[in-house]
Structure 1
Amino acid sequence: MTNDDEPSTLARRQLGRFLRDARETCALSLDRAANLAELSKTALQRIETGGVKKLRIRDVQALCEIYEVASEDANRAVELAKQSQVASWYTAFGGLYSDATFNMYVGLAASARRLTAYHEIVLGLVQTADYARALIGAFYRNSSPAEIDQRVELRLKRQTIITRRADPVKLDLLLHESALHRMVGGPKVMAAQLRQLAEVSKLPNVSIRIQPFAAGCAWGIPHGPFVILDFGADAKGQPIEPPLVYFEGNGKADLYLEKEEDVQRYHELASAVRRSALDETRTRDLLRTVSRSYTA
């Protein structure tokens, strides 16, 4: 197997986070859990940090049993262990990993230090409750109002990663102007959403810039939404985790690019969009102007 064909570290890291959280929920120390699973402390620590290239299914099953993980979640953990052995130029997760426990993107975004996003609707991390409810309700058409409300509540809780006082995630949001005019939930919902965007953009860790229609296509061709996740560096300047590019599957499998050249290409695309976007002050002015047009 060549370096280019090595299995993704993404599934290993997600599994490690899940097992660490399960252990901490049981109030077990690393030493005690390792002893119960007949592993060394170092081996368990490497599993939790995604550092084990060849995960043994029996170790994952034993840890899930020790932590009293529900059978459904234990099965998902085993599937993650299997996925971690698959070599591919991209990683796809969907269906199995789309619930609250195994939602890959939610966990990754919470661990990131910086998110660089290009979107053509308002990003979930800065949506109002009513805007989120309109989108979620349209997608989950057969869900009950209570289920919709629960999904909205979960989405709003995720927003604390950019609003918390301690070490908030840095958000660099490049929003296409079409998001300001694509009706979601009605005029009142849109007006409130755009006002909130203008306010959120004042946070020191948040940058929101609009790419206007007049800018055309940054690289001469249309491109869809994407999010670049950067996880920062340690004291030695080494990346804590490799950066990723995320593409939402919209009901299908979500996709992640991990190769360095792929991530660099999307950083370059984000830079091109940024060069054609309004600055932050003009962006706020446009958000407020369009917001008023919805209530005129």
Structure 2
Amino acid sequence: MSASSDNQSSESALSSTLPRRQLGRYLRDWRTQGGLTIAEAARLMEWGASTLQRLEKGQADRIRTIDIQELCRIYGIPDEIADGLKGLAQQAAVKSWWHAYGDLIPENFDVYVGLEASALRLMSYQSELVPGLLQTADYARALNRLGYPEDTDAELERRVGLRLQRQALITRRAHPAMVDVVLDESVLRRVVGSARVMAAQLRHLADLSTRDNVTLRILPFAAGVPLGLSTGPFVILEFGTDSKGQPVEPPVVYVEGFTGDLYLERKADVRRYRHAHEVLLRCALDVHASRNLLRQIAKEYAI
């Protein structure tokens, strides 16, 4: 392949949009789970292999819902996931994507979790709650019991189990993701579940902060409002670079909302959130002081 072709391929990858990349990622994972090569799956669709390859890379110019439905049938994808994939296929190709819950994509299809699982580095700020990747089972259970009061005990435990499974991203032995988190002190003081649950959660955070791939800092009340305004919670996700040092995928800013989620890919937006994270880092306690504060407040809860 020529240098010109390499550049075009790189530009195409970076110009693709998040819904299309997520659609392609899910389809690739289900194809490989089914033991099919690209050539075999393309032949079943009566496509050329390059057509399916572009779809899996999020670079397809035109995506037909009927084709996604047929691929789901071939791969044996369950209906509830297939509905989510068809919803992704219908999203506009935009750089700032507001995903309203239940709009085209079913509410039980979690777009963010699929994105998170592919990230190699996550930088976040949390002002109210411990992020899912760092939660204990009891903390997660208390939140889900409030969020889904009509769930049976079995459904509740399934939600908790799924949340704990996500944590393999940072605890796995091979190539764990790098996590750089700033927690507002209010996260430590806001009681979720009970004092006992909070004591265990804060000890868990302190223990996680000793891992080489986890950096955790506390923004104390004394730091005031470093940015002069509230950003709200956010996560910046990065997906690594290729052999030439170019991003495999563009970084994404994730902002969770009550009725939907916002995904930002525009360079100016990502740059603004990076700056915000840097300012919060500078104003937060250092790693050791943060760990000491976590253990101190955990002891207060345990009294």
TM range (shorter): over 0.9
1:167 aligns with 2:175: yes
Amino acid at match of 1:248: E
CA contact (8 A) 1:180 1:290 kept: yes
Spell out, residue by residue over 1:132-166, the C-alpha distance to the aligned partner (whole angstroms, 9 max, x if none). 11111111111112111110011001001000000
Amino acid at match of 1:245: V
1:82 Cα deviation (Å)? Answer: 1.1
1:237 Cα deviation (Å)? Answer: 1.1
For 1:276 and 1:212, locate their aligned partners in 2 and report how far apart those are by CA, in whole Å.
8
1:59 Cα deviation (Å)? Answer: 2.5
For 1:107 and 1:70, locate their aligned partners in 2 and report how far apart those are by CA, in whole Å.
16
Structure 1, 273-282 or 64-73: larger mean CA deviation: 64-73
Taking a change above 3 Å as real, the CA distance of residues 274 and 97 of structure 1, as seen in their structure-2 partners, is: farther
For 1:89 and 1:175, locate their aligned partners in 2 and report how far apart those are by CA, in whole Å.
26
For 2:224 and 2:68, locate their aligned partners in 1 and report how far apart those are by CA, in whole Å.
50
1:88 Cα deviation (Å)? Answer: 6.1
1:205 aligns with 2:213: yes
Count residues with an aligned counterpart: 287
1:52 paired residue number: 60
Structure 1, 50-59 or 221-230: larger mean CA deviation: 50-59
2:203 paired residue number: 195
Q: Matched residues, percent identical?
A: 49
For 2:48 and 2:68, locate their aligned partners in 1 and report how far apart those are by CA, in whole Å.
14
CA contact (8 A) 2:16 2:59 kept: no
TM-score (structure 2 length as normaliser):
0.90
2:269 paired residue number: 262
The DSSP-based 3-state class of the residue aligned with 2:273 is helix
1:105 paired residue number: 112
The DSSP-based 3-state class of the residue aligned with 1:235 is coil
For 2:70 and 2:255, locate their aligned partners in 1 and report how far apart those are by CA, in whole Å.
33
Amino acid at match of 1:273: L
Once superposed, what is the RMSD of the aligned Cα atoms? 1.7
For 1:24 and 1:232, locate their aligned partners in 2 and report how far apart those are by CA, in whole Å.
22
Gaps (5+ residues) in structure 1? 1-6
The DSSP-based 3-state class of the residue aligned with 2:232 is coil
Gaps (5+ residues) in structure 2? 1-14
CA contact (8 A) 2:38 2:49 kept: yes
1:27 paired residue number: 35
1:133 aligns with 2:134: no
Taking a change above 3 Å as real, the CA distance of residues 286 and 73 of structure 1, as seen in their structure-2 partners, is: closer
Spell out, residue by residue over 1:37-75, the C-alpha distance to the aligned partner (whole angstroms, 9 max, x if none). 011111111111111132233332321222233344333
